Amino acid sequence: MKKHCFWERLGPRLPRYYVQIMTVIVLCACMVTPAFAVDDMWTVANRIIVDVYNKIAGVSTVLAGLMSAVAVVGAKISNNQHKVDQSWDWLKRIWIAWAVINGIGAFLAYVRPLFDGLNTIQ
């Protein structure tokens, strides 16, 4: 009896529910923006890596300059030979770290393109 009553109550409203559901589906389909990839995944990843590296290299250059100035000022102002030696050691470490960071960029920019195409068998 309950099942029969349920369908009797729902029957006259079914066309209205159907129209509402189909309207929502059509609106969702119309509002969806298609996304087509312009480049493949590796090109986009390479562009992201280069962009992030350029930002890291820029920040490292500014910090290396600032820390070099602090180390030189610390070495010139200090009256203790041990602190002067530590300042020069820190200056060397800063320059080496900066050279390594920018060396990675030079490798990515100049050496890696020389290896493109070598991983294929002809």
Span 47-64, pLDDT tens digits? 888 888 888 888 989 999
Count of structural domains within the chain? 2
The domain of 15 spans 2-31
Is residue 27 located within the same domain as residue 48? no
Q: What are phi and psi of 120, to 5 degrees?
A: -110, 150
* Same domain as 12, residue 56: no
Inside any domain, residue 68: yes
Residues with Cβ within 8 Å of residue 101, at least 6 apart in sequence: 56, 57, 60
- CA 111 to centroid of chain Cα atoms: 23
Is the entire prediction scored with pTM above 0.75?
Answer: no
Query: How would residue 122 be classed by pLDDT, with cut points 50, 70 and 90?
Result: low
Q: Say if residues 105 and 57 touch (Cβ distance below 8 Å).
A: yes
Q: Residue 89 domain-assigned?
A: yes
Break the chain down into helix, strand, coil percent, rounded to 5.
Answer: 85, 0, 15
Indicate whether 108 and 61 sit together in one domain.
yes
